[in-house]
Amino acid sequence: MAAMLNKQGSGTVYFGISDHGIVYGQMTGHETLQILTQAFVDNIEPKIYPTIKIVPIDGKECIVVQGKGINSPYFAYGRAYIRVGESDKRLSVAEIESRILSKKRLFWEKEQSTKSLTEISESEVKSYVRKAQAAHRIDFEHIDVRTTLNKLHLLEGEHLTMAAELLFCDDNQMEIQAAIFAGNDKMTFLDIKQFKGTLLGLRKQAELYINANMKWRADLTESRRKEIPEIPVRAISEAIGNSLCHRDYSNPKGNEVAIFKNRIEIYNPGLFPEGIEPEDFFTGHEHSVLRNPLIAETMFRSRDIERWGSGIKRIHDECTEHGIKVEFIRRKTGFVVLFYRPAWIEEPDTSEKTTQKTTQKTAQKTAQKIILLLKENPTLGRKEIAKQLGGITESGVKYHLGKLLREGYIKRIGPAKGGHWEITST
């Protein structure tokens, strides 16, 4: 496989067919594909994630492994090969050096998408431009989709890049799996969701999911009631943004959000850069290693991420300030930000108060979701908010907006049509 990748960037390996083309078939057990997948992942560098299937050929079951990659030279068991005819030739040190020095690195995000401009969500593009303008990180107006994407360097000629597809196409390969577990392991889950959509939309959905399912307490020490989350919202937001910005998109596995009884984990596929530890970023002096510079630049302009290389420091500092323990964990397949949930003591509910407290908590979660949505897009109307929240009517949104206005959390700037919301307190 490594030899074929070095030759042409792709390769197919068959198990169950002899060198002379005779189909014998391949016996398999229930762990065969898993073991085979692990063998390819563990022993080829840079890593690839091949497609492995059992396919009937001439009435017999064979295993077909298909791989592709653009980061030549590839090494198998520490050695680099290239396919020559029907044999594998080992590359010399000089050939390897020549390949490394001469190749122009092509990132996955710059590859050509199969999507067309008509599949781009123009409403997402417009919303993005408004956010980036508010952040003072772009100075142009939205004229049309093509012009905006071109200015963001998300087009290659007339074609969308994969970065454009992920950022602004509702129908793309990206997903986030989210779940709530009853205990501290994955034995029993209480809720499970699968989010699809644009990259920035996914970030919003993941944030809302965590914020709605973690604990909040009321701080009454000031003149106005203030809701305090068990884990800082800014740290959660930064962790989700980083997980989407820096993940390995050549790996088909989705991002994950897991809420356990004692912790919250945010996982993304893609190994942490070799030779650098997460702790190296705590000082703010380490330089960021960008896996997806196009996506990173786009998210930076809309302030969905801050300065490159500052994410881990911001998460660490925010958690330290609020007394929350956070860990940054390398895994064999990816990277995890782990927040430990504090042991808050809650007043026990009496049977008379249970329904009332449940209603209050639901209302608080809905209000918090609305605030987060308005932070993302201050021009949202009642209909759009109801659509994004789901399970609530426009009348319900009107009630919550009115309550937030009266309590001083938000205020309206400008007329009902053409104006926008301003967050005054969270």
pLDDT for res 222? 64
Q: Give kind and range of the element (H or E) at residue 407.
A: none
User: In the block, which residue shows the tokens 């309590």?
Assistant: 407
SS3 of residue 66 by DSSP: strand
Task: Please state the pTM of the whole predicted model.
Answer: 0.64
Core vs surface per residue 173-203: b (16+ CB within 10 A) or e:
ebbbbbbbbeeeeeeeeeeeeebebbbbbbb
Choose among 324, 296, 266, 340: nearest CA to 153. 296
Radius of gyration of the chain (CA): 25
Q: Name the pLDDT band for 104 (thresholds 50, 70, 90).
A: very low
Helices 293-301 and 199-213, packing angle to 10 deg = 70
Within 8 A by CB and 6+ apart from 79, the residues are: 90
d(CA 14, CA 8): 18
Instruction: Compute the average pLDDT of residues 210-231.
Output: 80
Task: Evaluate whether 390 touches 406 at the Cβ level (below 8 Å).
Answer: no
Q: Name the pLDDT band for 369 (thresholds 50, 70, 90).
A: confident
Instruction: Compute the average pLDDT of residues 253-272.
Output: 92
pLDDT for res 165? 95
Choose among 124, 113, 117: nearest CA to 298. 124
Choose among 321, 181, 166, 323: nearest CA to 247. 166
Instruction: Compute the average pLDDT of residues 39-68.
Output: 92
SS3 of residue 234 by DSSP: helix
pLDDT for res 93? 85
Instruction: Compute the average pLDDT of residues 29-40.
Output: 90
d(CA 86, CA 105): 28
- 303-319 pLDDT, tens per residue? 888 766 678 989 999 99
Provide the percentage of residues in the chain whose pLDDT is more than 90: 43
Task: Evaluate whether 192 touches 202 at the Cβ level (below 8 Å).
Answer: no
Q: To which CATH superfamily is domain 2-105 assigned?
A: Schlafen, AAA domain (3.30.950.30)
CATH topology of domain 175-291+299-340: Heat Shock Protein 90 (3.30.565)
Q: Which two tokens stand for residue 306?
A: 């801050």
SS3 of residue 73 by DSSP: coil
Domain segments of the chain: what residues? 2-105, 117-168, 175-291+299-340, 354-423
Whether 381 shows a pLDDT value over 50: the answer reads yes
> Of 27-41, 66-80, 174-188, 266-280, which gets the smallest average pLDDT?
266-280
Q: Name the pLDDT band for 359 (thresholds 50, 70, 90).
A: low
Whether 149 shows a pLDDT value over 80: the answer reads yes
* DSSP per-residue codes, 130-165: HHHHHTT--------HHHHHHHTT-EETTEEBHHHH
Spelled out in words, what is the top-level CATH class assigned to the domain 354-423? Answer: mainly alpha
